Structure 1
Amino acid sequence: MKYRRALLMLALAVVFGIAAVMLASRWLLRQGPGAARIVVSAADANLGQRLSPDMVKLADWPADGLPQGALRDPAALSGRVLKTSVLRGEALTEAKLAPAGTLGGLSAVISEGKRAITVRVNDVIGVAGFALPGTFVDILVNTQTEPGVKQEHAISKIVLERILVLAVAQEVSRDETKPRVVNAVTLEVTPEQAEQLDLARSVGTLSLVLRNQVDPTPGVTPGATKGTLLGLAKEPAAPALAVAAQPPKPPKPPREPAPRYCIGAIDGVRSSRECL
């Protein structure tokens, strides 16, 4: 009898414990936002790479933390091209993919309205190999002034600013930080900048100037000449403020002579006249 009562109490405790766990689990599920299944990267991939079915997979993601533009159909991503590098387990969104039908390679990385142009560099011009994909550079040209100028002299001038480096040699990976000395650098420019850069490399020597990636401040300079470098030339004076032209004043009319008072005098046969 004793054991039967103890077993009964133990069975009741087990039943109540299971019921408490189930109720608590249901309460927690109701409190939480739940999860959604979205497409993530199954392996590390570089920008410009085409996605294959084995490179993507579905994964659970908190419903309240879904990335904007998250994708849910992995089959629809077959053949799409990445516009940025992704890591394993990273959510794939439309913002990270080139438009459907885009071929892989560098052309998928170029922004709309921009062009890619390659310039020849060396270990000095290429900032000792630190001009890597994803960094920004200024373009410096060293040339001579136009023929026919009264005083021809050499000048160094920054002609293009904040130009994105797309690739070095034939590599577009932006994950590396080690310097790489190469003989060619591909830059992303507008059509107008492409024309200026092509002219600059034909009239002088180009140099790349590495700049801070988050510094948008323009470097407005007059350029450096031999005179300014050696302190032989004075800096140009600040332009004087323009003064609004005033209409000329009309000429003053000639002043009329003051009236004079005259007195005549007669002395015998002589006469005289005095004026005041």
Structure 2
Amino acid sequence: MKNVKAIGLIFLAMVIGLVAAVYAAGWLSKQGTIASNKVVVATVDIELGSKITPQMLTTVDWPSGSIPAGTFKDAKDLHDRVVKMGVLRGEAVLDGKLAPPGTKGGLSAVIAEGKRAMTVRVNDVVGVAGFALPGNYVDVMVNAQQETRQGEENRQISKTVLENVLVLAVAQEAGRDDTKPKVVSAVTLELSLKDSEKLDLARSVGTLSLVLRNQVDKQTVATAGITKRQLFGEKEPEPAPVAMAVTTPVAAPMVQRRKPAPLPARDCVEVIQSGTRVMHCFDKNKSAAIQ
């Protein structure tokens, strides 16, 4: 009786195994019919600004229904292209992560169109203890003496002059994968041409400080800055009244008029004749009578 039960269990196990094998074979056959295309992927980690070489790439089969936009089928299409964003090993190389064709390698390939790269000196305090890393965003603050009107004392002021500035590189490193703080002596920022002029003037008139900000916070806040008097709760002195210059009207030049010529001397005689008066005058010089 025991042998019959054992044989029955063995037979049941064989049937279950056969069903599982048939199901697995059917599943594998279905997987083999999934359409796929060749996609170029990276065989090593490619840092931003690096020029792509054939040794960095390979092609793999990628399911057609999940191919990302901007992929490449042939590694030859990526010859001498430069990446402007880091590509990880096994990741598909996308056109959106590449600089325009003909771009040379280096930091210049990472700079956005219409932007400039400018480097400022920093220390462990100015550089936010080394947390201002490539890919982060900072505000730039300047502490300087503000010029005032003549006769007034210059006042010290601290003001934010630039906001939401991208850090391109720290020292000579532009990689954005490392999150470990690095205390460096120089930080390279991505700026517009107008902001580059502001930063150049700011670092020449005062001391710069970098203020680390949230990467997703794009809001700008306009401030008037703060002076030393305001910091300690003192009122700013009233501006001195501007003295108005009094101009004395210039007298018009005196025009000397010519005196009229003197009338010639005359002798006059009044003659009354038949009730009519007649005046007779004689010029002394000409001895002529004038009526």
Q: What TM-score does the superposition give when structure 2 sets the normalisation length? A: 0.70
- Tell me what 1:198 maps to: 200
Residues 196 and 20 of structure 1: CA distance in aligned 2, closer, same or farther (over 3 Å): closer
Q: CA-to-partner distance for each residue in 1:195-247, whole Å, 9 max, x for gaps? A: 0100111111110000011111213222111111111137xxxxxxxxxxxxx
Distance 1:20 1:180 in 2: 56
Distance 2:160 2:58 in 1: 48
Residues 52 and 232 of structure 1: CA distance in aligned 2, closer, same or farther (over 3 Å): same
Q: Does structure 1 conserve the Cα–Cα contact (< 8 Å) formed by 2:147 and 2:155?
A: no
- Tell me what 1:36 maps to: 37
Q: CA-to-partner distance for each residue in 1:253-274, whole Å, 9 max, x for gaps? A: xxxxxxxxxxxxxxxxxxxxxx
**Structure exhibiting the larger radius of gyration computed from Cα positions:** 2
Give the alignment of 1:58-137 within 5 angstroms. Answer: 58-137=59-138
Q: Does structure 1 conserve the Cα–Cα contact (< 8 Å) formed by 2:40 and 2:73?
A: yes
Q: How many residues align?
A: 217
Distance 1:167 1:230 in 2: 37
Q: 1:167 aligns with which of 143, 165, 169?
A: 169
Gaps of 5+ in 2: 1-19, 237-291
Distance 2:27 2:50 in 1: 47
Letter in 2 for 1:158: T
Letter in 1 for 2:215: Q
SS of residue paired to 2:187 = strand
> Considering only aligned residues, what root-mean-square deviation do their CA atoms show, in Å?
2.2
- Tell me what 1:232 maps to: 234
Distance 2:133 2:173 in 1: 9
Give the alignment of 1:218-229 within 5 angstroms. Answer: 218-229=220-231
Q: Does structure 1 conserve the Cα–Cα contact (< 8 Å) formed by 2:129 and 2:181?
A: yes
Distance 1:138 1:215 in 2: 12
SS of residue paired to 1:200 = helix
SS of residue paired to 1:209 = strand
Give the alignment of 1:4-43 within 5 angstroms. Answer: 32=34, 34-43=35-44
The CA deviation at 1:21 is: 7.9
Letter in 1 for 2:44: A
Letter in 2 for 1:87: L
The CA deviation at 1:189 is: 0.2
Gaps of 5+ in 1: 1-16, 235-276
The CA deviation at 1:152 is: 2.5
The CA deviation at 1:144 is: 1.2
Q: What TM-score does the superposition give when structure 1 sets the normalisation length? A: 0.73
Q: CA-to-partner distance for each residue in 1:28-54, whole Å, 9 max, x for gaps? A: 666x4x211110001111000111101
Q: Does structure 1 conserve the Cα–Cα contact (< 8 Å) formed by 2:119 and 2:186?
A: yes
Is 2:194 the partner of 1:189? no
- Tell me what 2:146 maps to: 145
Q: Does structure 1 conserve the Cα–Cα contact (< 8 Å) formed by 2:141 and 2:210?
A: yes
SS of residue paired to 2:140 = strand
Distance 1:180 1:152 in 2: 37
After TM superposition, what 4+ stretches of structure 1 lie above 6 angstroms from structure 2?
17-24
Q: CA-to-partner distance for each residue in 1:25-83, whole Å, 9 max, x for gaps? A: 665666x4x21111000111100011110101101112111111111110121211111
